[in-house]
Amino acid sequence: MGTIAEEILAKKSGKKKVEPGEIVEAEVDYVMVNDITGLPAFKVFEKLNAEPIREKIVLIPDHYVPNKDIASAEQAKAMRMFARKYGIENYFEVGDNGICHQIMIEKGFVAPGRLIVGADSHTCTYGAFGAFATGIGSTEAAVVFALGKLWFKVPETMKIIVKGELKDYVMGKDIILHIIGDIGVEGALYKAMEFYGDTIEKLSLADRITIANMTVEAGAKAGIIPPDDKVFKYLENRVRGSYEPVYATEDAEYSDVLEYHADEIEPLVAKPYLPSNIAKAKELSDVEIDQAYLGSCTNGRIEDLRVAAKILKGRKVHKNVRLIVVPASKEVYMQALKEGLIEIFLEANAYVSGPTCGACLGGFMGVLASDEVCISSTNRNFIGRMGHKDSKVYLANPAVVAASAVTGRITDPRDLK
Amino acid sequence: MEEIIRGRVWKFGKNVDTDQIIPAEYLVTADEKELCKHAFEKVMPSFSKNVKKGDIIVAEENFGCGSSREHAVRALIGCGISCVIAKSFARIFFRNSINLGLPVIEADVEADTGDILEVNFKKGTIKNITKGKEFKFKPMPDFLMKLLSKGLIEYAKEKLKEKS
């Protein structure tokens, strides 16, 4: 009767079936805000004069923590105080946290069939686990704190099929960049993207998470992958409460069906100033870089660090480059320590920090000066995204970031000697 | 919400992202006036100095893409923007605008910076007074119109009353 997106929205709004374009009021499982989007939400919530639905609220400071200045310290304090005032248990303090989307996954909030909203555009990340998850604003987050429900326009669904074997050093990042390069940054506007095909089935969860994470860069409302055993296994001993996987029915209708072949996808780079501005990494070998950034909700997981460490082992970062490595969470950081990856990064002269979103959005911990160029495993390369309006960001997978850090120019890892 | 508004145009292109509307380094306040001071700072530094209450933004496709930061809508409200007209909007920006009471209209309008527009929400028309042209748009669904005129906060208060 419907796509995964439709089936979840129908279930959560108590209906048998919903149609694209219909506006429904649906029961939300969790609502998350970060330190930047939290502050306006807390102010709105106070105006509502309501009791919060505590168990649904998740508060994760990650953008400007550890506090970058006094103003951001006040903002982080507002979140801490809100959590204390209302007794919100799901507040994750600096030291026991990480980038909000990674924490939502690691701490078991994300599961198949759930409806999750977050005041952060990359909330769509959780679609990698078969959830319908989407970014919202701060005011509506405050309303969900009070009502536990929100209005949704049921999106049309695009079916994306990826088939075949991936080449060496081609990752989830390249798949999603390839698709965004094809359909454009508004190619999935207002729509849900659902991913199928043997390539997607074979991908690690980390690669699937990267794909779902960047569906918003095509304008999508959600990016969903049907959950399988890899998902169920990851969730064992991790997930909170029970969950029920939701799948598309056979008669589901899609607004578009797009098919891609994995063997046509190369290690890619999105040039400034849009994620759709795609080129092959090997075609950009004349672009010199000043900084290489490995981290973020897009590519800061242990699998990403392993790929980069394999390239960096026994090599040094180029003398004109700062390589900044930011594991996405404490859990990722500890695992990287255990596996000796952090030592490899430090030996290579990379700078390694604790988790934060900081540099990805030009906040702190790696802001770019005028005319500087950064190759980055993040998700956005807009004008001034990581700093000065005349700086440039090239988006790529962790292998391309690591290889480029070694040579000082954008490098396809297969060309590394 | 007023039925008819008249204002001066600021013209933008396609894919105007929320990092352009309000750069992330200023996301340490929710104050609308303060946010307005930095609106479009990296791409159109003259905007915040010269914007006047009642001005209208006209843009092409995918206005407000990128980050969910509601601060982008708050900055425009702080600048006194009365309406944003674009060929299409990124969905979170669209929702945020309606929730905070900033009218957003999906329409293909011929206008340049400095033109005077008159928007009639009831009739669904946009007149470019300067160019002597008229354009039509589809009125929003009733539910969104109700939200827009009331704002999400009032809507939620009513819902809370029903609940108790």
Q: Is A380 on the interface with B (CB under 8 A)?
A: yes
| CATH code for position B51 | 3.20.19.10
Query: In the block, which residue shows the tokens 């569906």?
Result: A215
* Residues of A with Cβ-Cβ distance to B145 under 8 angstroms: none
Q: Is A389 on the interface with B (CB under 8 A)?
A: yes
A133: helix, strand or coil: strand
Indicate yes or no: CB of B96 within 8 angstroms of CB of A137.
yes
Cβ-nearest to A50 among B68, B141, B160: B160
List the single best residue of B31, B42, B43, B65 to mutate versus A (max A Cβ within 10 A).
B65
Question: Could you tell me which chain B residue has the CA closest to the CA of A119?
Answer: B68
Q: Which helix (H) or strand (E) holds A183?
A: helix A172-183
List the single best residue of A31, A36, A368 to mutate versus B (max B Cβ within 10 A).
A36
* Residues of B with Cβ-Cβ distance to A383 under 8 angstroms: 17, 19-20, 42-43
Residue A1 is predicted with a pLDDT of 85
* Residues of B with Cβ-Cβ distance to A39 under 8 angstroms: 29-30
* Residues of B with Cβ-Cβ distance to A389 under 8 angstroms: 42-43
User: pLDDT tens digits for A94-113?
Assistant: 999 999 999 999 999 999 99
Q: How far is B3 from chain A (nearest CA, A)?
A: 24
User: pLDDT tens digits for A156-207?
Assistant: 999 999 999 999 999 999 999 999 999 999 999 999 999 999 999 999 999 9
Q: Enter the tokens of residue A45.
A: 């919530």
From the list A69, A68, A73, the residue with the least C-alpha distance to A39 is A73
Q: What is the CATH number of domain A268-415?
A: 3.30.499.10
Q: Is A382 on the interface with B (CB under 8 A)?
A: yes
> What is the rounded distance in angstroms from the CA atom of residue B64 to the CA atom of residue B17?
5
Region of A269 please: left (phi>0), alpha (psi -120 to 50) or beta: beta
Residue pair B27/A68 in contact (Cβ under 8 Å)? The answer is: no
Q: How far is B129 from chain A (nearest CA, A)?
A: 31
Residue pair A296/A99 in contact (Cβ under 8 Å)? The answer is: yes
Cβ-nearest to A385 among B19, B90, B96: B19
Domain of B11?
4-163
A416: helix, strand or coil: coil
- Note every long-range contact of A227-233, with CB atoms under 8 Å and residues 24 or more positions apart, other chains counting: A227/A112, A227/A129, A227/A130, A228/A201, A230/A204, A230/A205, A231/A112, A231/A129, A231/A130, A231/A205
Indicate yes or no: CB of A221 within 8 angstroms of CB of B91.
yes
Residue A351 is predicted with a pLDDT of 98
* Residues of B with Cβ-Cβ distance to A362 under 8 angstroms: 19, 23-25
Q: Where are the domains of chain A?
A: 4-260, 268-415
Mean pLDDT of A40-55: 97
Q: Enter the tokens of residue A191.
A: 């729509």
DSSP structural state of residue A257: E
> What is the rounded distance in angstroms from the CA atom of residue A65 to the CA atom of residue A43?
20
User: pLDDT tens digits for A198-239?
Assistant: 999 999 999 999 999 999 999 999 999 999 999 999 999 999
Residue pair A329/A353 in contact (Cβ under 8 Å)? The answer is: no
Chain A from 44 to 83: CB within 8 A of any B CB: 44, 47-50, 63-64, 69, 71-72, 74-75
Residue pair A146/A53 in contact (Cβ under 8 Å)? The answer is: yes
Q: Enter the tokens of residue A120.
A: 């952060």
* Residues of B with Cβ-Cβ distance to A380 under 8 angstroms: 17, 19, 66-67
- Note every long-range contact of B154-157, with CB atoms under 8 Å and residues 24 or more positions apart, other chains counting: B155/A143, B156/A48, B156/A142, B156/A143, B156/A146, B156/A147, B157/A48, B157/A49
Q: Is A43 on the interface with B (CB under 8 A)?
A: yes
Q: Which superfamily does A4-260 belong to?
A: Aconitase, domain 3 (3.30.499.10)
Indicate yes or no: CB of B91 within 8 angstroms of CB of A190.
yes
Indicate yes or no: CB of A389 within 8 angstroms of CB of B42.
yes
Residue pair A176/A214 in contact (Cβ under 8 Å)? The answer is: yes
DSSP calls for B74-88:
HHHHHTT--EEEES-
Residue A213 is predicted with a pLDDT of 98
* Residues of B with Cβ-Cβ distance to A361 under 8 angstroms: 19, 24, 67
Residue A138 is predicted with a pLDDT of 97
Query: In the block, which residue shows the tokens 């200045």?
Result: A69
Q: How far is A248 from chain B (nearest CA, A)?
A: 24
User: pLDDT tens digits for A387-417?
Assistant: 999 999 999 999 999 999 999 999 999 999 8
Residue B164 is predicted with a pLDDT of 78
The domain tally of chain B equals 1
Q: pLDDT per position in chain B (164 positions), as tens?
A: 788 999 999 999 999 999 999 999 999 998 999 999 999 999 999 999 999 999 999 999 999 999 999 999 999 999 999 999 999 999 999 999 999 999 999 999 999 999 999 999 989 999 999 999 999 999 888 889 999 999 999 999 999 998 87
From the list A363, A329, A384, the residue with the least C-alpha distance to A36 is A363
Residue B147 is predicted with a pLDDT of 92
Mean of per-residue pLDDT scores for chain A: 98
Cβ-nearest to B25 among A139, A362, A380: A362
Q: Enter the tokens of residue A411.
A: 């490098």
Residue B139 is predicted with a pLDDT of 85
